[in-house]
Amino acid sequence: MARLADETPDLALIENRVPSVGHLFRDRVVATPDTDAFLYPEGEEWPVLSWAQTGERAYAMAAGLIELGVQPEERVALACSTRIEWVLVDLAVMCAGA
């Protein structure tokens, strides 16, 4: 439904939203640590990463980004082909708050 230009939006609809994708990710790691998060191709195999393993890798990368000087809300560019490392770095950037 289109909103008229002079209507005020109902801000109560967004008051209790999760603050960021990084928060959603951390909540998921805590809630289902042993559940499969990702399967990815590695040669002829398809290794599995659990949410806990994904969290460990993403948190380590996030700490590295912060150690390198990445600041909250700073932009970070990713240059990578479609692969599991792209997913992990993307999650790390969000966990770092960038």
Q: What is the pTM of this model?
A: 0.79
Give the pLDDT mean for 85-95: 95
Per-residue pLDDT tens digits for 46-68: 999 999 999 999 999 999 999 99
Cα angle, residue 94 at apex, residues 89 and 97 outer, rounded to 5°: 130
Q: Which DSSP state fits 82?
A: S
Q: Is 73 helix (H, G, I), strand (E, B) or coil?
A: coil
For residue 95, the number of C-alpha atoms closer than 13 Å in the C-beta half-sphere is 23
pLDDT for residue 30 is more than 70? yes
Give the pLDDT mean for 19-25: 89
pLDDT for residue 76 is more than 60? yes
Q: Where are the domains positioned within the chain? A: 29-78+94-98
